[in-house]
Amino acid sequence: MGTRETVLVLGANGQIGTELVTALRAKYGNENIVASDIREAAQSDGPFEILDIMNAAAATEVIKKYNVTQIYHLAAILSATGEKNPRLAWQVNMDGLLNILEASAELGVKKVFWPSSIAVFGKNSPKRLTPQYTITDPDTIYGISKLAGERWCQYYYRTRGLDVRSIRYPGLISYASKPGGGTTDYAVEIFHEALKQGKYTSFIKESQLLPMMYMPDAIRATIDLMEADADKLRIRSSYNIHSLSFSPAMIAAAIQMHLPDFTIDYAVDFRQKIAESWPASLEDSYARVDWGWKPLYDLAATVKDMLENVGKKI
Ligand code: NAD
Ligand code: SER
């Protein structure tokens, strides 16, 4: 990143934003990273703005005020919350994205990062090693909005020359901030309950494999993609990336290596159907070739680090 870059992070108070802002500030200086969210921040070590992405004029004002040159747009409604309020999810995820793409193109923002998700795939997509290009028939409103969002990103790149970059994140595991209403949230809750109660009731069934990733890998991937040479990037919709593939039974067994008395039982709910429509693992060779993506955390390392850090928090 050049010395005169100013980065705006939208949805900065969420599970990813909390850690991305910290990582960006450590790398580029607190004053160069403007955090923003619709909610007040618990704390901020640099500039912070209350900003609703549905308000295009307010977004334009903030971009102008700070001479923003890069945007990480993380504000969204996730899969499980989206199913409870599909219209709201569509409006925030779609109109919000269009507001930011349009303002970025108009104001000459140099680069925009926007995350897509494994939710773009559906029940007719191949389950294992799901290819970059394959059937995408999402069932959830969240997945539908992510798939449409990918096409809009590609469209703004092609028609307006906007340098948009995107990753299809898998379920993200982290301890700094709680997850925000997704189907993969069980893989975070399980650590808190294991340490507090010694047991966990999973809303996802025992054998359900899902793609997952530890947050440090996701943050590194995000910044690496934003720093990659533009002419090496063959994909302007969204890149598959893969790290872990495990089921509730498998993560429970990994936790039992540290907490032998930990037990898990199952009471599946509507989120199981969502999980069933998603892949078990992804094929990610485009990301590996184009910008050197490689995960560093396996399941054992993720579980060890999570238990240590969740333990410190509680
Ligand atoms: P989150 O729900 O934890 O955080 C989203 C943030 O957006 C919240 O702080 C919320 O207050 C804010 N927000 C909501 N509506 C807003 C609005 N109208 N204007 C401004 N801010 C608003 O989500 P997250 O897990 O940090 O996810 C960030 C992005 O990554 C989303 O696009 C999500 O779809 C994507 N993603 C996340 C995961 C994951 O496992 N966490 C996986 C795949 C994709
Ligand atoms: N973790 C996200 C969710 O479950 C996937 O995009 O909604």
What kind of architecture, by CATH, is found in domain 172-211+243-283+296-313?
Answer: Alpha-Beta Complex (3.90)
Q: Measured from the CA of 142, which atom of ligand 1 is nearest?
A: 34
- The pLDDT of residue 3 is 58
Closest protein CA for atom 37 of ligand 1 = 169
Asked whether 117 lines ligand 2 (CB < 6 A), one says yes
Asked whether 171 lines ligand 2 (CB < 6 A), one says yes
- Token pair 């199952």 is found at 266
**CA nearest 179: which of 170, 189, 191, 169?**
189
Alpha helices in 134-209 (DSSP H): 141-160, 186-196
Task: Give catalytic status of residue 142 as yes or no.
Answer: yes
pLDDT < 50 positions in the chain = none
Rounded Cα gap, residues 137 and 119, in angstroms: 9
Asked whether 76 lines ligand 1 (CB < 6 A), one says yes
Asked whether 93 lines ligand 2 (CB < 6 A), one says no
Query: What global pTM score does this model have?
Result: 0.97
The answer to whether 255 and 303 are in contact (CB under 8 A) is yes
Other C-beta atoms within 10 Å of 67: how many? 11
* CB crowding 136-172: b at 16 or more within 10 Å, else e: bebbbbbbbbbbbbbebbbebbeeeebbbbbbbbbbb
For 198, half-sphere exposure in the C-beta direction (CA atoms, 13 angstrom radius) is 2
The alpha carbon of residue 270 and the mean position of all alpha carbons in its chain are separated, in whole angstroms, by: 21
Which part of the chain has CATH 3.40.50.720? 7-170+214-240
Distance 252 CA to ligand 1 centre (A): 26
**CA nearest 47: which of 11, 19, 9?**
9
Given 66, 142, 156, 157, the catalytic residue: 142
The answer to whether 191 and 299 are in contact (CB under 8 A) is no
Rounded Cα gap, residues 41 and 314, in angstroms: 21
The answer to whether 230 and 265 are in contact (CB under 8 A) is no
Q: Which fold has domain 7-170+214-240?
A: Rossmann fold (3.40.50)
Asked whether 184 lines ligand 2 (CB < 6 A), one says yes
Cα dihedral 104→78→191→12 (10° resolution): 30
Asked whether 78 lines ligand 2 (CB < 6 A), one says yes
Which part of the chain has CATH 3.90.25? 172-211+243-283+296-313
Q: How far is CA 18 from CA 15, 21, 213, in A?
A: 6, 6, 16
Distance 54 CA to ligand 1 centre (A): 14
Tell me which DSSP letter residue 260 carries.
T
Task: Give the start-end residues of each E strand in the chain.
Answer: 7-10, 33-37, 48-50, 70-73, 111-113, 116-117, 163-165, 167-169, 171-173, 199-202, 210-214, 239-240, 244-246, 263-266
162-172: pLDDT as tens digits: 999 999 999 99
Closest protein CA for atom 8 of ligand 1 = 14
Q: Measured from the CA of 79, which atom of ligand 2 is nearest?
A: 7
Supply φ then ψ for residue 170, to 5 degrees: -85, -170
The answer to whether 9 and 21 are in contact (CB under 8 A) is yes
The answer to whether 219 and 177 are in contact (CB under 8 A) is no
SS3 state at 266: strand
- The pLDDT of residue 1 is 61
Q: Which of 74, 78, 244 to mutate to test the pocket of ligand 2 (most atoms within 8 A of CB)?
A: 78
